[in-house]
Structure 1
Amino acid sequence: MAYADQQMSGNRITAFIIVALLHLVLGYALVTGLAYEGVKQIMKKVTTIDIKKDEPKKEPPPPPKKVAAPPPIVAPPPKINVSVAPPPVQTVVTPPPLPPPPIIAPPAPVPAPPPPRFQPKSATPKGNPANWATTNDYPSRALREEREGTTGFRVTVGPDGRVTSCDVTSSSGSSDLDDATCANVTRRARFTPAMDGEGNPTSGSYSNRIRWVIPKD
């Protein structure tokens, strides 16, 4: 046992000596700079450990957030008044039917007048109407100017058969010839007066024409 202890102590001493020598050599090398590069390479090989760090995987960027469109503006529904009073009930009174209108009898026809006792007659001239105006009655001025024409006339005859008025119905174109017509007829014409339905003489009328012609010598 003592031998083993001595052997072990001797090994320790030897190890210490070797370590001390190594320190001395390293210290000398450091001081003098000899074998600096070699030592550096050795130290680099001994001490450098390439440790590759696990690079974190780049995660893809998150997708852009979708912005939700704002909800449409909805007007609130109008308030409905549920408690609406029912419309008033109007009672319509139907009036009784009107009585039928009275039946009016048509008026009695007016009796026709009795037939006349005598047939009415119009005024008729007495004698020849051509004698009412002669060539001697030709207006002198119209005769000198050689004016001719025909005058139409209408006379009113009184109950006595005489002419009460005279009107020119169509002119001859000369006023003196028209005036001579009425003047001569009023002075010379005589009539049987008109008769009414009772046979009494009454006023009447008569129409005719006078042609004024220049006499030939």
Structure 2
Amino acid sequence: RLLFALIAGTILLDAALFLPALQLLKKLLVMMSLLAFLTFTVSGVWSYLKGHKEVRFYMLAWLGVMLSSLLMNLRHIVGLEIPQETVHDSMRAVMVLDAMMMGLAIADRYNQLRRSRQVAMQQNLESARHRLELNQRLSDLTERHDEAVRQARSRDGHIQNLVHDLRQPLHALRLNVMSLTDTPQAQPERMEAAFAYLEGLIGQ
């Protein structure tokens, strides 16, 4: 909001003072430039302190611009005897610093994207391993269930009813494992508990 206010104020000053008071307009613009650069620098520092490490190069670039603008204000507004060549040299140094910081910012952004891709690939690999493990356990449960069904045919009706009751939770568990392709983080604790329950029940 402050930046938008500075932009709107600059436009209004240009429109109001361009013809009647050009020298006053120049001084006001020099002062507003310092305020704008100070705002950029403070915003960069605030973002850096909030954890956005990628802004550090932009913050350093704006810091250099702000110092150069400060020299200009001290000379033209305050009236300090600062050589014009010193002000110009500071501007040249800031241009070099700006270009260097922008290059470092681009390289840093590239490294961050590469690290993000590596993390995403690692997470996908872990998710694939987890799904494979669950599918193997599910296959083992299915085989043990089928074996229990075959054994139950030669036993009493109570065992047959118990094996029959296992079919529905086993089918639901199979659907949950299949759904991991779309939602890999879906209720892992409940799924693990279901696996443990069925494995223990069938193993009895």
- What is the TM-score normalised by the length of structure 1? 0.14
Larger RCO: 1 or 2 (CA < 8 Å, sep 6+): 1
Q: As a proportion of its length, which structure holds more strand?
A: 1
Q: As a proportion of its length, which structure holds more helix?
A: 2
Q: Based on CA coordinates, which of the two structures has the bigger radius of gyration?
A: 1
- What is the TM-score normalised by the length of structure 2? 0.15
